[in-house]
Amino acid sequence: MGRFNVKNLKNIFSMGPPFLQSIVRSIPLYVNYDLTWQCNLKCKHCYFFSSAMELKCKRTELSDKEFIKVFKYHRNLGTRTAVLTGGEPTLRMEVIKEAIKIFPSVQVVSNGVIKLPRFNGYKQPKYWVSIDGTKETHDKIRGASIFDKVISNIQETNPIVTSTVMTLNYKEIEDIAKIAYNNDAFGLVFLMYTSYPDNPLLLKGNILKKTIKDILKVMREYGDFIFYSKKMLEVYLSKEFVPYCVFKTGQIKSFFPDGKQKFCVMGNSPLLCDNCGCVVPIAAYALFKKFDLSTVDKLRKLFDVT
């Protein structure tokens, strides 16, 4: 059967039902909640800080009880996965604890300064922690000397490491992969920087070409440790996924800390789409539109859609 063997077909079909249910019943497969406007860092490339600055409103936050009510509402609809972001979500640890009581799957996306504890009696959420390059580069981008602390927390919690690739760190792709691998990360995901067209951090021209070449190299060297596929790179470059983005179609919804829905996890404007590098719609398009088996193999562990 070649690539269409029994194992691959089983993997594909196991991923399909929740996604198809979200289409038929208009149920968000994932819901992304920004838990707070606050953060313990001020990073140069922060999409959340940029989008928050654009809002002309008072920055209120849902209380713990209000978040619980919203969590239960979406869970009762059929939503399986909560993705908790910020600001810095670990600044509201009690809300994280409540989310894992309610949802079958919880993912916490953090800068890694605050270690995620063990939640006794409940399934441990998946922990995503950012590494932006070597120690010097990472601390420069993050605006604080926190690299060693983050590495220590990675060694203890074995999270998924994410790295947002931009003009400040595109030369360090191999360094980032080595750092993540040698410090016992669960795996590594590259995110391409997303912003408006005139942003100097965007990857363009020869810089983009070098970045793609270097990512392909580490994909060959590190195999399944890298949660990214060749098809995903093709989809990212062509931007063919944009009209089918899962935030646009409603399979995933995103909310500000005050409970108001926003355009997508990257911000609150469709003007971001032309330069989108968000792994979520890229992966979804490669999986369910391109039916790419290599992407299935890469991402089954990552997105918990079984």
Residue 218, domain member (yes or no): yes
* Model pLDDT for residues 172-198, shown as the tens digit of each residue: 999 999 999 999 999 999 999 999 999
The pLDDT assigned to 51 comes to 77
**Are 176 and 133 within 8 A, CB to CB?**
yes
Q: State the alpha helices, DSSP H only, in the chain.
A: 6-24, 47-54, 64-77, 93-102, 135-142, 147-157, 173-182, 205-222, 230-238, 246-249, 279-288, 293-303
Longest dimension (CA), the chain: 58
CA distance 270 to 167: 23
* Model pLDDT for residues 17-60, shown as the tens digit of each residue: 444 444 434 678 899 999 999 999 999 999 888 777 777 767 89
The pLDDT assigned to 129 comes to 98
Q: Tokens for 13?
A: 């079909």
Number of domains within the chain: 1
The 3-state DSSP class for residue 259 equals: coil
- Give pTM, 2 decimals: 0.89
CA distance 255 to 264: 8
Phi and psi for 159 in degrees, rounded to 5? -80, 175
Residue 304, domain member (yes or no): no
Does the pLDDT value for residue 12 go beyond 50? Answer: no
All residues at 6 or more sequence positions from 6 whose CB lies less than 8 Å from its CB, including other chains:
none
Tokens 């600001």 — which residue? Answer: 87
The pLDDT assigned to 303 comes to 59
Q: For the chain, give the mean pLDDT.
A: 89
Residue 1, domain member (yes or no): no
* Model pLDDT for residues 124-162, shown as the tens digit of each residue: 999 999 999 999 999 999 999 999 999 999 999 999 999
pLDDT category of residue 306 using cuts at 50, 70 and 90: very low
Could you tell me the CATH number of the domain that includes residue 119? 3.20.20.70
Residue 306, domain member (yes or no): no
The pLDDT assigned to 23 comes to 41
Residue 305, domain member (yes or no): no
The pLDDT assigned to 26 comes to 60
For CA atoms 95, 96, 101, 106, the dihedral sign is: positive
Residue 196, domain member (yes or no): yes
Residue 61, domain member (yes or no): yes
pLDDT category of residue 61 using cuts at 50, 70 and 90: very high
**Are 229 and 286 within 8 A, CB to CB?**
yes
Give the single-character DSSP code of 103.
-
Residue 135, domain member (yes or no): yes
Q: What's the domain range around 88?
A: 6-299
